[in-house]
Structure formats: structure tokens, C-alpha cells
Amino acid sequence: MDKVEFSFVYWLTTDGKVLAKTTPGEPAEIRQAEYEGKLKAAADGSLIIMNLTRGDQNQYTANVQTITSDQCLQRFDLRVFDALSVESCVGQTNISSEEGAEVTLPVGQTGFESMTWVTVRDLVHFAVTKPRQAVVIQDSRYQRRLNATANGSLIIAKLTREDQGTYGTYVVTPTSQQCAQLYNLRVTGFNQTKTQMDYSTVNTIRLAISGCVLLITCFVLSHHMKTEVMSPSTDTHEHRRCSKVL
């Protein structure tokens, strides 16, 4: 759910059936017997649907009761894909690009209807691409950083080290056939730059400390030598002055 300060949420399907009520920090109150053991609440009050089946594909509405007693609606379009093997698509593709540059995750299929893109590390659907259409961004982390080619390939711009990882896409054809494709993205440049910067900084600090230690050592030795040389001369002079008095 979006970050909205709320008291509780009623979760409904398109036919108006109330599935559950969730409250931040509390277990979900399940309102339909067939969903017992299938629904649970996250700590922030979001609804989690477990053991997904094709029957769960639906549009869901969150009727949010805010802390100011206002109400708002959030709608979710849930699509459930078959657990097909990656052999039905191109499979895994290894791609590398530098930090700050852009990279294209190429489409290996033709004649498809849409592609839903997901980050494998946290299973977040962050974009949808379609041939000859603008990319639909679904995650704020990628705002103003995504684009699509004419055939629906995904372009990620201004790469950071956080973008490194595995990406997946679900390909849907006009006949509703689906397959999965994976991309292993490696972002280069930041490790080497960081190492060079660290060594340069450390060497500068070491040089400065060595200079300070050398300067202090020279000062102490010089002062010590002056003291050793002047002490006997002073003692003799004082002794002679006393002799004259006697």
C-alpha cells in the first residue's frame, strides 16, 4: 500500500465482496471462509495473498479509513502468471554497463502483447512495456529513469550500484500464452573508482601524519641537543663567579 496514515482498511473484490479488514500492527480479520489461511496482514496493514492461483487474478480495492476519519480508495490489478519454465523464453541474458550510463534489457520474443518487469531480489513489479507504447512505471525508484524501445525492450538510465542484480519479465502473447525471461545485470565502474579514491585518501593522510611526526621529532631532538650543550657551559660560568667571590 501507499504510505497513507490510516486506521484500518477494508479489502474488496470487483463484485463488492469484502475479503478482509487490516489494521497496522494487528492480524488480518478475514471475512470470507474460503480465504482462511490464504490471507495475512503485513506490519503496515498491507494485505498479503498467499499460494496464488489463477482464480486470484482480479481487481482489488482498498477502502482506506484515514486517521482523520476520511476515506480514500486504492485499486490494484492483480495478474497471476503460470509457473512456466524459462526454456519457453530466451532464458537468462548476461548484460553489463557502467555506473551512470544506461542499459537496454532486450526483448527476445516477437508478436507479444505486453511485458511485466520485476526485480527478482524483492519481487517488485516496477514497469510494463508494450510494443510502440510508452513505458508504464510502477515503482517510484525508477521515475524518470525508464524508457522503452519500439519493440518493447526496457531501457534503464542513470545506472547506480543498487541497480545491479537479476531482473525478470513475464511475456504475454495475444493468445494469452506466457513465458519468463531473466536478465543478470552487472554495473561496473564504482568498485574501481571507490578503491582508487580510498587508497588516495589513505596515502594522503599517511603522508600528512608522517610529516607531522618527522617535524615533531626534529624539534625534540634539536631542543634536546641545545640543552645538553648549554648546561655544562652554564655550570662552569656560575662556578667561576662563585670562586671570585670567595
Higher pLDDT pick, 198 / 87 = 198
| pLDDT exceeds 80 at position 175 | no
Higher pLDDT pick, 101 / 57 = 101
Of the candidate ranges 34-48, 118-132, 162-176, 188-202, the one whose mean pLDDT is the lowest: 188-202
Higher pLDDT pick, 92 / 60 = 60
Instruction: Give residue 237's pLDDT.
Output: 42
Quote the cell numbers at residue 214: 618527522
Dist CA 129 CA 193 (whole Å): 34
| Each residue's pLDDT tens digit, 67-124 | 777 788 888 888 776 554 444 566 688 999 999 999 999 987 777 888 999 998 887 8
Q: Which fold has domain 6-78?
A: Immunoglobulin-like (2.60.40)
Secondary structure E strands in the chain: 6-13, 18-22, 29-30, 39-41, 47-49, 58-66, 71-78, 92-98, 103-105, 114-119, 124-129, 136-137, 146-148, 154-156, 165-172, 178-188
| pLDDT exceeds 90 at position 154 | yes
The proportion of the chain whose per-residue pLDDT surpasses 90, expressed as a percent, equals: 35
**Common-topology check for domains 6-78 and 86-191:** yes
| pLDDT exceeds 60 at position 232 | no
| Phi, psi torsion values for 15, nearest 5 degrees | -90, 10
* Mean of pLDDT values over 24-45: 90
Instruction: Give residue 155's pLDDT.
Output: 97
Q: What does the radius of gyration of the chain's CA atoms come to, in whole angstroms?
A: 35
| pLDDT exceeds 60 at position 205 | no
| pLDDT exceeds 90 at position 6 | no
- Among 68, 17, 20, residue whose Cα is nearest residue 46: 20
Residues 6+ away with beta carbon under 8 Å from 129: 114, 115, 117, 135, 136, 148, 152, 153, 154
pTM, full prediction: 0.49
| 216: confidence class by pLDDT, cuts 50, 70, 90 | low
The proportion of the chain whose per-residue pLDDT surpasses 70, expressed as a percent, equals: 70
CATH architecture type of domain 86-191:
Sandwich (2.60)
Domain residue limits, the chain: 6-78, 86-191
* Mean of pLDDT values over 51-70: 85
Instruction: Give residue 190's pLDDT.
Output: 64
| 233: confidence class by pLDDT, cuts 50, 70, 90 | very low
